[in-house]
Amino acid sequence: MEKILELFSNHLSNWGLVWFCLIFWGSIFNAILISLSFSEISSYLTYVGYIAGLILGLFAKSKKWNWLR
């Protein structure tokens, strides 16, 4: 059990910023896209905001930004 917790802790310390951007910024981008959409929402449009959040997170990780510290 300790090994699992250690692996989880290491994963969060290495990828926490990416997860933050995916969930937080992806939700914000998704809400903006939904509010700007005037027609019926396509199924792929609901994922675009989260993909943008993921890309932002990967970019932040590659640039070594430290938003969460």
Over residues 11-29, the pLDDT tens digits come to 888 888 899 999 999 999 9
Q: What is the pLDDT of residue 26?
A: 92
pLDDT tens for 34-64 read 888 666 667 677 788 999 999 999 998 888 8
Predicted TM-score of the model (pTM): 0.78
Tell me how far apart the alpha carbons of residues 51 and 29 are, in angstroms, rounded to a whole number: 9
On the CB side of 29, CA atoms within 13 Å amount to 18
